[in-house]
Amino acid sequence: MTSQTLCQTYLGNMAHKTRLLNGGKNLVRNLVLGRSVSTSSKRKTTLLKQLLSSPQLAFLMEAHSGLSARIVEEAGFHGIWGSGLSISAQLGVRDSNEASWTQVLEVAEFMADATHIPILLDADTGFGNFNNARRLVRKLEDRGIAGCCIEDKCFPKTNSLLDGRQQPLADIQEFTLKIKACKDHQRDPDFCVVARVEAFIAGWGLQEALTRAEAYRNAGADAILIHSKKSDPSDIEAFMSQWGNKCPVMIVPTKYFKTPTEHFKELGISTVIWANHNLRASVSAMQNTCHQIMSEQSLVNIESKVASITEIFRLQQDHELRAAENLYLPKK
């Protein structure tokens, strides 16, 4: 067989493999999670917008890495909260804008690459003024992030749940124009910008919360996140009694966790964010594991309590790589 014939045969085989791949609707991509899945033809931004506006109570689960994001999707959640607290904590820094916005962006990109469901990124205060915030929106769109949530505090921010800390609010007009800048500069019409109202966190009353929420809604915010650190839902109840369903409302019940979820439905809440529990669960697991191994200097009593190496390989989608190698590496 001549070299020309060998080359033609090789190219023919490659063309056949390509047809098989395309005809099979991207076989390799559909090996996600170790099983066949049907991915939605809708953009992630559209999925998030529909989630926020759905008449049914929706839930976003916290993730802080590509791995945790994939676990959230496997659990059946339809959306992910890219928690600023959790992302900063897993980087080993405080939730005070010590991680740069590009570092947060890189983590968010890994999360988006690992999943098919939309991510709402906790974007703190937008990492600066209107100019920083509108640039962030463009970069999030580039990386497949479905939306961002921006809070009306001053940069650098302080975590809302810290005790005894001052929580100065941004000027209402300045923050309103920041929201408008984000909405004016998004390219995807379904990209969601959520305005987070911190009036209750900062010690202000109901009227301040309502005034700010109305201003942000008029500036184009797709939803309002009304935040409270009380151990009961009284702030949320007061706000919802006066809000009048003007636009979707999101909550973070980290502190009032004993409130029955059914009550959130009764109040007309759009979306509940379980904001930090994957991080906290992993910290507890790692602390317990480290302490036991340090104490016993052995793995005998710990191996059955942790995920298997095989499970880690599955979550990393090693099966996809093996399938791709069969398609794209020459056979010896």
Residues that are catalytic: 95
Torsion of CA 110, 115, 117, 123, to 10 degrees: -10
Judge residue 297's burial from the number of C-beta atoms within 10 Å of its C-beta, 0-12 exposed, 13-18 middle, 19 or more buried.
exposed
Tell me how far CA of residue 9 lies from CA of 2, 4, 15, 280, in angstroms.
11, 9, 10, 56
What gap in Å lies between CA 149 and CA 121, rounded to an integer? 6
Helix (H) or strand (E) holding 260: none
What does the block give as tokens for 20?
């098989």
The DSSP code sequence of 154-191 is PSSP--TT-TT---PBPPHHHHHHHHHHHHHH-SSTT-
Nearest to 237 by CA among 269, 212, 215: 269
Nearest to 64 by CA among 279, 286, 274: 279
Map residue 294 onto helix, strand or coil. helix
What gap in Å lies between CA 64 and CA 13, rounded to an integer? 42
What gap in Å lies between CA 293 and CA 315, rounded to an integer? 24
CB atoms within 10 A of CB 321: 13
